Amino acid sequence: MTSNGEKKLQLYSYHRSSCSFRVRIALNLKGFDYEYKPVNLLKGEQKTPEFLKVNPIGYVPALVDGDLVIADSFAIIMYLEEKYPQHPLLPRDLAKKAINYQAANIVSASIQPLQNLDVLNYIEEKVGPEAKMPWVQKHIGKGFAALEKLLQNHAGKYATGDDLFLADLFLAPQIHGAIKRFNFDMVGHHTLFSVGCMRHICRYLLSKMPCLRINQTTLLLKDNNNSVV
């Protein structure tokens, strides 16, 4: 979706970044035909002078909307929510909105930062590769335990009911990464496992927007380089 005379949104993203994944889900839910700008973190492309001009801190995602550059997934999603009202990402109910904010913040402030590439490299350097994974799993478990308690009386098909909102955008990539990347055992986290699996959001996107390129076998979104996100 673009208006006449408006430049297409540009998203600087890495396909395995859960922070970038949140924004890609938001853009797809709101129906944007955006330009994907891949940044390979493993190759250090986030540290190049070209990217640092976009985001001086050197993190993805970064969104370019005309002359405005917005970094940080939470800021990007809130910007999209306020400027583009189609498919609201927050419920009208104040209590339910607060639950969504809490869930998103637990992921973005208390879980994901400890999985940042620089942090993981530092931990591996200090404790060794064998001890790194248990360290990551411990902190994922702490955050997931809090999320389980927060959502157990609110969850439906999705995190806070039967509509897809902000909490789901943060939970789905985090849970997907915890299982696939960090071999986290979801036993004891039934609420999160039932509402946060990536397949629910992918099925939703596929049913609502069949024009999206979605791998129907794995139900995982693909980026513009045909890499599984």
State the DSSP string of 103-164.
HHHIIIIIIGGGG-HHHHHHHHHHH-HHHHHHHHHHHHHHHHHHHHHHHTTT-SSBTTBSS-
| Interatomic CA distance for residues 222 and 229, integer angstroms | 5
- pLDDT at residue 226, rounded to an integer: 45
- pLDDT at residue 28, rounded to an integer: 87
Q: Which regions in the chain score pLDDT beneath 70?
A: 1-5, 196-229
In angstroms, how far apart are the furthest CA atoms of the chain?
55
- pLDDT at residue 205, rounded to an integer: 62
Helices (H), the chain: 18-29, 49-54, 73-83, 94-105, 117-127, 129-151, 166-180, 190-196, 198-208
Domains of the chain: 10-88+215-221 (3.40.30.10), 94-196 (1.20.1050.10)
- pLDDT at residue 1, rounded to an integer: 52
pLDDT digits (tens, 9 = 90+) for 28-52: 889 888 999 999 999 999 999 999 9
Q: Which tokens go with 126?
A: 């200090």
Q: Check whether the bond before 61 is cis (ω within 30° of 0).
A: yes
- pLDDT at residue 204, rounded to an integer: 65
| Interatomic CA distance for residues 150 and 153, integer angstroms | 7
**What is the DSSP-derived secondary structure letter of residue 212?**
S
For the entire predicted model, the pTM comes to 0.86
